[in-house]
Amino acid sequence: MRNKIKMSAGFTLLELMLVIGIAGLILTMGIPSFMDSVKSNRLATRANELVTALNLARSESIKRGLRITVCKSTTGSSCLTTGSNWTAGWIVFTDQNNNAVYDSASETLLRVQANQASNITMNGTTNIANYVSYVASGRSQLIAGSTQAGNITVCDDRIGNVGIDLEINTVGRVRTTRSIACP
């Protein structure tokens, strides 16, 4: 009779080490790219939240026939009038007395948006550094009565062309441009 040798089904130590090495290499190359995707999605989400608030203000101003204002806010109940950074959050409210300041006794708060991500900055240019205000025609307009237009640049902690620019034109429409240079 012949001796039969039983073959075991499984992996050798060498095969296992090779698979672990290849998996480690793939993870090493894939994780940084995945983290960039996560950061890009967070940046886009934050920019879209502000675009949504601006579009709400514009449509409500047309619907209600009065001035609706979006202003920077750290508290969710008052406007911030210093600096140009929208990062802390914003509020949308009816602005019956046309002063771009929320007066809780006489005006209606329509939306509050708090800061969601600490590594994202949102800086507005001079005309929209503190607020964006829409009148009944749907145009953005400064309190002084002149047309309000400008940009808000949304960036995170990455360097390069990863930012998003929100441009509010002279008729109040918001246009989004991606791949803006960030410091």
CATH number, domain with residue 164 = 3.55.40.10
* 65: containing domain: 13-182
Is residue 131 in some structural domain? Answer: yes
Chain CA centroid to CA 96, Å: 28
What is the count of structural domains for the chain? 1
pLDDT in tens, the chain (183 residues): 566 666 667 778 888 889 998 888 887 777 777 888 899 999 999 999 999 999 999 999 999 999 999 999 989 999 998 888 899 899 999 999 999 999 988 999 999 998 776 789 999 998 999 999 999 999 999 988 889 999 999 999 999 999 999 999 989 999 999 999 987
Is residue 96 in some structural domain? Answer: yes
Is residue 17 in some structural domain? Answer: yes
Is 0.85 surpassed by the pTM of this model?
no
Is residue 3 in some structural domain? Answer: no
Is residue 8 in some structural domain? Answer: no
Is residue 107 in some structural domain? Answer: yes
Is residue 6 in some structural domain? Answer: no
CA distances from 95 to 38, 84, 120 (A): 37, 21, 28
Q: For the purposes of burial, counting CB atoms within 10 Å of the CB of 165, is it exposed (0-12), middle (13-18) or buried (19 or more)?
A: middle
Is residue 1 in some structural domain? Answer: no
